[in-house]
Amino acid sequence: MSTIVLPKETTQALRELTGEVQPDAALTLALRDAFAYRLEQIQEQLHAFEEKYGMPFADYKTRWESGDQEEDYSWEAERDYLEWEALITRKRRLENTYHQFA
């Protein structure tokens, strides 16, 4: 376990934010909230892609890799594919880390 020293102002802010007196408990709560918030944002972005393309990423990826998207191929579609894939990867990584705090 690592030890970190928090400035007094940060410790006070964590207490105000979480209601926890112990800095380690307050930091854990703040991190949980931050992870949950970020995961919600990512889920909203993923939903927007699913709405735009009318399918989940797994289906879009299969279509993309098969070459059936020729009529839809564009710089925007390629950018969306890369961003969509990155969001899924980020979501998985955040979920794995989030479960360590649960």
Which tokens is 12 given?
């006070």
Report pLDDT digits (tens) over 71-82: 566 889 889 999
CA distance 28 to 45: 26
Q: pTM here?
A: 0.83
Domain count for the chain: 1
CA distance 34 to 32: 5
Report pLDDT digits (tens) over 17-65: 999 999 999 999 999 999 999 999 999 999 999 999 999 999 999 988 8
| Domain assignment of residue 3, yes or no | no
| Domain assignment of residue 28, yes or no | yes
Identify the three-state secondary structure at position 33: helix
Report pLDDT digits (tens) over 52-72: 999 999 999 998 888 766 656
| Domain assignment of residue 65, yes or no | yes
| Domain assignment of residue 1, yes or no | no
Q: Which domain holds residue 46?
A: 9-101
| Domain assignment of residue 17, yes or no | yes
